[in-house]
């Protein structure tokens, strides 16, 4: 997956540097020629959680923007010009529309989890997602998923990055809560689209399910009853 993503990034002139984390031992990709000399590889002796890895990568960031990007993302054209246009005024985080390989829009933008909407999701009534069209208008979701998040670097630093107490899952929700609470904004730009081959490991792996439940509990303990109010425009 990383090989294909690196080839996509090589076609994006806005990408001046790639920080690649090898979290578990595996064969490292060979960077395409256009990215030669622009990749920093971080190798972990002990696997770290999602937030800890991205915070460590950010310590090597010397650019005005910082993109959190999963290896299972493919680019549908170059999303960065449209996304960068959104990062103005008090917007600290922009995300693209995320679509499946089959073309359907994924649930990458949602309302903050609460007990009632979790119950509705379990009952199959609703899952808190925002419904929007590809190439539609910009809007301000409560939170966006961490597979693709483009930050203003200064804002990421001011927020302290991800909370590393979350090993996996809900660290993106937590960061978005803190971002809105700080007076900053999130934008989703449907004109920029990326493809995500979702793994959804917590649906069939007990270890991932345990991480998911532990992170959900931590989120509710920290934020229940103290969620920021988010406008729609």
Whether residue 129 has pLDDT greater than 80: yes
Whether residue 199 has pLDDT greater than 70: no
Q: Rounded mean pLDDT of 168-178? A: 97
pLDDT of residue 197: 83
Q: Rounded mean pLDDT of 178-203? A: 87
Q: What are the pLDDT digits (tens) for 151-171?
A: 999 999 999 999 999 999 999
User: Model confidence at 27, in pLDDT bands (50, 70, 90)?
Assistant: confident
User: Model confidence at 123, in pLDDT bands (50, 70, 90)?
Assistant: low
β-strand partners of 171: none
Q: How far apart are CA 156 and CA 62, in angstroms?
A: 13
Helices (H), 113-191: 115-122, 153-159, 171-181
pLDDT of residue 226: 85
Domains of the chain in start order, with CATH, are 64-223 (3.90.550.10)
Q: What is the pTM of this model?
A: 0.92
What's the order of all strands across the beta sheet hosting 148-152? Answer: 65-69, 148-152, 91-99, 185-196, 73-75
pLDDT of residue 231: 67
Which of 61-65, 97-101, 123-127, 207-211 has the least mean pLDDT?
Answer: 123-127
Q: Rounded mean pLDDT of 57-67? A: 97
């Amino acid at each position: 997956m990383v090989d294909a993503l690196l080839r996509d990034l090589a076609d994006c002139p806005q990408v001046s540097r790639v920080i690649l984390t090898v979290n578990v031992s595996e064969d490292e990709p060979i960077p395409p020629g256009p990215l030669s000399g622009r990749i920093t590889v971080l190798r972990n002796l002990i696997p770290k959680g999602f937030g800890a890895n991205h915070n460590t990568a950010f310590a090597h960031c010397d650019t005005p923007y910082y993109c959190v990007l999963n290896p299972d993302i493919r680019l549908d054209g170059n999303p960065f010009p449209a996304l960068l246009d959104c990062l103005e005024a008090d917007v600290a985080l922009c995300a693209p529309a995320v679509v499946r390989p089959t073309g359907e829009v994924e649930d990458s933008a949602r309302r903050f989890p609460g007990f009632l909407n979790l119950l509705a999701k379990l009952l199959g009534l609703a899952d808190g997602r925002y419904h929007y069209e590809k190439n539609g208008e910009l809007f301000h979701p409560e939170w966006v998923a961490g597979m693709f998040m483009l930050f203003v670097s200064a804002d990421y630093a001011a927020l302290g990055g991800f909370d590393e107490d979350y090993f996996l899952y809900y660290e993106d929700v937590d960061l978005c809560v803190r971002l809105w609470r700080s007076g900053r904004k999130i934008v989703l730009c449907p004109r920029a689209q990326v493809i995500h081959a979702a793994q959804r490991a917590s649906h069939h792996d007990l270890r991932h399910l345990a991480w998911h439940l532990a992170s959900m509990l931590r989120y509710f303990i920290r934020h229940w009853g103290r969620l920021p109010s988010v406008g729609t425009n």
